[in-house]
Amino acid sequence: MESYELVILGGGLAGMCAAVEAGEKGAHVLLLEKQDELGGSTVLSSGYMAFTGTEMQEAAGIVDSNQSLLDDLIEVGGGVNDPSLLTFYAENQLETYKWLTGHGIEFRSLEAVSGHSVPRGHIIDPHQAIQTLYKRVKQLPNVTIRLCAPAKRLLKNGEGRIDRVLYELEGTEQTVEATKGVVIASGGFAKDESLLEQFAPHLKGALRIGGSGNHGDGIKMAWEHGAWVSDLPYLNGTYGFHPSTSGAVKTQGLAFYKGGIMVNQLGRRFVNESISYKLLGKAAFNQPDKITYQVWDQTVMDKSVADDPLYDLELLRRRRLLYMADSLEELADCIDVPLEVLEETISRYNQGIQTGEDPDFGRKTLTHNYGKPTPIEKAPFYAFESTVAMLATYAGVAVNSAAEVLNPFGEPIPGLYAAGEVTGGFHGAGYMTGSSLGKAAVFGRVAAARALSPIKV
Ligand SMILES: Cc1cc2nc3c(=O)[nH]c(=O)nc-3n(C[C@H](O)[C@H](O)[C@H](O)COP(=O)(O)OP(=O)(O)OC[C@H]3O[C@@H](n4cnc5c(N)ncnc54)[C@H](O)[C@@H]3O)c2cc1C
């Protein structure tokens, strides 16, 4: 039987960070990837990572702190997320940002998105990130990556320690020994209809976007050995995708975080647009026929950010996915909502901005605690039909801050570690943009380090 010190399941950001971390510590490592290429959901993502205290924030004159990041993570998660994971993240994220930049991963810009009180969404090109980590792995002779090698089951020894992985290679079953530990980094289950039907029946009809290998394999393997789960009651989709989104073309726009509003087919607002887009997704899915539009004016359009995965509103126009009209009358006609209701919706919203009090939904900011809404008054006006996508499950096996997988009694399952989207407990009821890639990198590294050198948490 082959033997390694560490066996990592999955080659997305969490798995690749774990592989580089362990490899640089000199460990003998095997990474198994189910698909014929690395990257998982990571390479489909918008590339936002939530960090604070970076030189990019400093250069932009942004005042932020670990405490403010922590407060936002707790608030946006509705206080049901695990404070020990969040505290660990807040205290260690900057070191991982530096580790990533030190390894050649490029951060190109900074924006405020869901759950941010200041701009802290640092954007990477996720392909560049995965390729850069892969190049590093290739320099490490002690790390082996095997593609088309899905892990099937975890096996434990007589003392109850997970010490082997059963996997498939070229149609045959293989067993590999993991003397120091197994790290599950196999992502979520956004592509698994049976798990979604079981845990998120309310998301029937939501778009499905995500890594094609993301079927919850790691969660099932950990369950078999008694892993507990967290955050499953809070599964929700993400708002802001055009209904035509499919395959590689992900057409998303978040005009609402730049000052747009959301209306339903009746022409009415239905939510405070500054909250987490995971909660916006929940609200949008409850609207008549699940049809909603983002509506904005030229003032918001002028805030379009070229080449930004979430804020390039001009790109939506170039793709001819926007309705554009010189008057509200024309816009209402285009999207088939009652003109008098749309006019009254916008007039009440604009008055609320003037008086400082949104009478209907209490909106005070653009996103979370950041930015000031502006009235919707400057022609031309725009509408973007938007829907909900299940793109990341953000729920899964329970872990502690040493990335040890826990049983229902909060005790570590010996030899078993997990990091990235396969884990629960971090996001809670809402979602901060950038926290999923952020936690994948931070806890991917932690999982490797702790497996090689365990400490008591
Ligand atoms: C469209 C989109 C936009 C997003 N934007 C952002 C964003 O801007 N910021 C952010 O923080 N998050 C974002 N996310 C979420 C984020 O991309 C993921 O949560 C994150 O990439 C998860 O990283 P991971 O390494 O845990 O999993 P993944 O990157 O999904 O990698 C898991 C890997 O494990 C492999 N695998 C699965 N089962 C097995 C098995 N049995 N054996 C071996 N390998 C297996 C998979 O094939 C995959 O390669 C977005 C997601 C999507 C889809």
In a domain, 285, yes or no: yes
In a domain, 65, yes or no: yes
390, 409, 433 — which closes off a domain? Answer: 390
**Max alpha carbon distance in the chain (Å)?**
74
Are 200 and 229 in the same domain? yes
Residue-wise pLDDT tens digits, 360-395: 999 999 999 999 999 999 999 999 999 999 999 999
Are 106 and 196 in the same domain? yes
| Strand pairing category for 292-296 and 381-390 | antiparallel
Q: Answer yes or no: is the C-beta of 440 below 6 A from any ligand 1 atom.
A: yes
Domain count of the fold of the chain: 2
Answer yes or no: is pLDDT of 399 > 80. Answer: yes
Angle of the 328-335 helix axis to the 339-355 helix axis, nearest 10:
130
Output the CA–CA distances (angstroms, integers) from residue 249 to 241, 257, 456, in the order listed: 11, 22, 45
Are 366 and 407 in the same domain? no
Answer yes or no: is pLDDT of 456 > 70. Answer: no
Are 207 and 164 in the same domain? yes
Ligand 1 pocket: which of 257, 433, 436, 442 to mutate (most atoms within 8 A of CB): 436
Residue-wise pLDDT tens digits, 11-21: 999 999 999 99
Average pLDDT over residues 44-57: 97
Q: Answer yes or no: is the C-beta of 260 below 6 A from any ligand 1 atom.
A: no
Residue-wise pLDDT tens digits, 192-239: 999 999 999 999 999 999 999 999 999 999 999 999 999 999 999 999
Terminal Cα distance for the chain, rounded: 32
Look up residue 50 and give its two tokens: 């939530």
Residue whose Cα lies nearest atom 11 of ligand 1: it is: 434
Distance from Cα 371 to the centre of ligand 1, integer Å: 30
Q: What is the pTM of this model?
A: 0.97
CATH number for the domain that contains residue 139: 3.50.50.60
Ligand 1 pocket: which of 8, 249, 310, 437 to mutate (most atoms within 8 A of CB): 437
Q: What is the pLDDT of residue 249?
A: 64
Are 386 and 396 in the same domain? no
How far is the C-alpha of 218 from the C-alpha of 152, rounded, in Å?
Answer: 9
State which residues form the domain around 432: 2-234+392-452
Answer yes or no: is pLDDT of 189 > 90. Answer: yes
Residue whose Cα lies nearest atom 38 of ligand 1: it is: 186
Average pLDDT over residues 288-309: 96
